Structure 1
């Protein structure tokens, strides 16, 4: 099937519900026959995501900068672990290795990855589908802001429409799969 890149938090201080969401996402990707591409970390949601995929028999590809390898937070159990020289090169490789993108709840790093993929899509540098999982309205304030900047012509409506939004992981994956070649 497809290589699906998942962006999510790597914080060690998250509520268990977010770790459970990530683990279930990984398992659902594997059940559907997809390869997981992630940031290559073994902590927080990122670690739970990869563990969930492997627990359901899925293949995992991690992409991690050397600086994070040095902090010993890398997912050494990955089927393929690619080490980069920077966060920027990490994102480039994640984009190249993936057929689609799914964003779970996260912080600045997650948003950085989402906006990189989304920006390059608005510039027609790729046509890979992207979906934001808005569990329990986590991203509602961001979505409201995006609608406001679209109303003010800072973001074209066509650009806003490139990002699909879904309340659950299964519906998010259905949306991604419907747009895969």
Structure 2
């Protein structure tokens, strides 16, 4: 039996399916590759709006991230927290309500007693269906010395944020319009 395209699958929804671009699956891979292409396609074909939690303590960055996320998909729901501990509590609460996040985008240095690395570790250990993506103004080399001691994200976004790079990392996870 030949593999079906997305349009041929019985659960294809034109208004959502048209948002998909087959090239996304060929060009870009998610930051954690725990899902098969079939899982990802099913993920994109759902009618449920994608949810993103942004954890950032710099208000100017919050506005920039919101603009970039809405440029990728204006239908996503964006929630905000300014420290990792509150973000962890919010993730746990939303997960219990079966309204969990699809992506958590967090700065590493949050200027408080909590760190984006704490949040990253929590997501890896307790929330396998959330894609945690870290943001930092520091180079990967510097981050390896200070933060990436035991667990290193496969991808992270470096500040200043380059839209093309941001898009390549997040469009496959959020769908595009």
TM-score (norm 1): 0.48
Larger radius of gyration: 2
Question: Whose relative contact order is higher, 1 or 2, with alpha carbons under 8 Å and at least 6 apart?
Answer: 2
